[in-house]
Amino acid sequence: MSGPAIGSRLRVRAPAKVNLTLRILERLPSGFHALETLFQAIDLCDSLEVEVRRESGVALEVVGADVGPADDNLVVRAARAWLAETSVEWGLAVRLTKAIPAGAGLGGGSSDAGAMLRVLDHWMPGAVAEERRLAIGAELGSDVPFFTGKGGLVLGRGRGERMTPLPPLPPAWLVVGMPRVHVATGPAYGRLARGRAESRGAVPPPLFDGESAVPRSWPEVASLALNDFEPVVAGAHPPIATALAAIRAQHPAFALLSGSGAAVFGLFTDADAAERAVGEARAACPESRFELARTLDRLPAVEPAGP
């Protein structure tokens, strides 16, 4: 199978996401939980630069953070899965520049993996069918399928592999709080399961029963904004609760935990109000990092890398 020339280089920004709503549903036969979520991409981004090289294999250089062994990195695992699927034998040199913190519920590692799959599809369009790319993504993590697509606002269901792109909402601004704690996804699911068992709480019903229920304005999103992880994760990690309270004190349209944490966010439809709010949150909660971000209509495009 033909492909790009040796030395070809592409780059792409890999954006973070927030979950505008996140509902954890029944446990599937695979042992994973079904979920229902509204993914929203934001302009806090890692970046990936990929070069085709003569030597086989995937070489990874990471700038800006220690993300552990290369063999465990989702970028490397995504590339290897794609190469195995296509039987392509050329190698890849990947430079990953990190800005999204790990273990924050912002999808940084998943976005990097999705960006890698999008780069490879850009070089060899259709070599791996879209359905198979989504399946590869779901095998890597529930957030990865979202990052293999193009849309900035997507309804995700199943394990995350059932993607329904939605029309973008008007631009909005977010105050993103990043407490200096790491929340592992597995223990977060464990806390949620124990909490439901102790309260004898039933598995909640889906929020979106058909496309007619999908919100089409920020007030509609605010009326549905919830995260099933928030009570148990914020309760177990006081810095998260403190950062969330600092944001809510600024009167956003709504504020939530993102994913299984540790990041939290508040959404504003006015840029000036959001800029004031990030300053107030930093002053009120100096032990956490707060950044201003904006929603994205689409995921960033893959581009040629300069010399």
**Is residue 297 among the annotated active site residues?**
no
Largest CA distance in the chain: 60
Confirm whether residue 8 is marked as ligand binding: no
Confirm whether residue 149 is marked as ligand binding: no
CB atoms inside a 10 Å sphere around CB 162: 15
For residues 145 and 163, the answer to whether their CB atoms sit within 8 Å is: yes
Confirm whether residue 107 is marked as ligand binding: yes
Determine whether 285 is exposed, middle or buried from the number of CB atoms within 10 Å of its CB (0-12, 13-18, 19+): buried
Residue 142's closest CA among 163, 166, 126?
Answer: 163
What is the signed CA dihedral for 158, 161, 166, 172, rounded to 10 degrees?
Answer: 90
**Is residue 17 among the annotated active site residues?**
yes
In sequence order, the 6+-apart residues with CB closer than 8 A to the CB of 240 are 179, 181, 183, 233, 234, 257, 261, 262, 264
Confirm whether residue 104 is marked as ligand binding: yes
Confirm whether residue 101 is marked as ligand binding: yes
Confirm whether residue 108 is marked as ligand binding: yes
Which residue in the list 17, 98, 112, 228 is annotated as catalytic? 17
Confirm whether residue 137 is marked as ligand binding: no
Confirm whether residue 30 is marked as ligand binding: no
Map residue 60 onto helix, strand or coil: strand
SS3 content of the chain, % helix, strand, coil (to 5): 35, 30, 35
Confirm whether residue 2 is marked as ligand binding: no
Which residue in the list 46, 98, 112, 143 is annotated as catalytic? 143
Residue by residue, DSSP assigns 193-243 as HHHHHHHTPPPPPPS-SSGGGS--SHHHHHHH--BTTHHHHHHH-HHHHHH
Active-site positions read: 17, 143
Which residues line the annotated binding site for ATP?
Answer: 101-111
List, as residue ranges, the binding site: 101-111
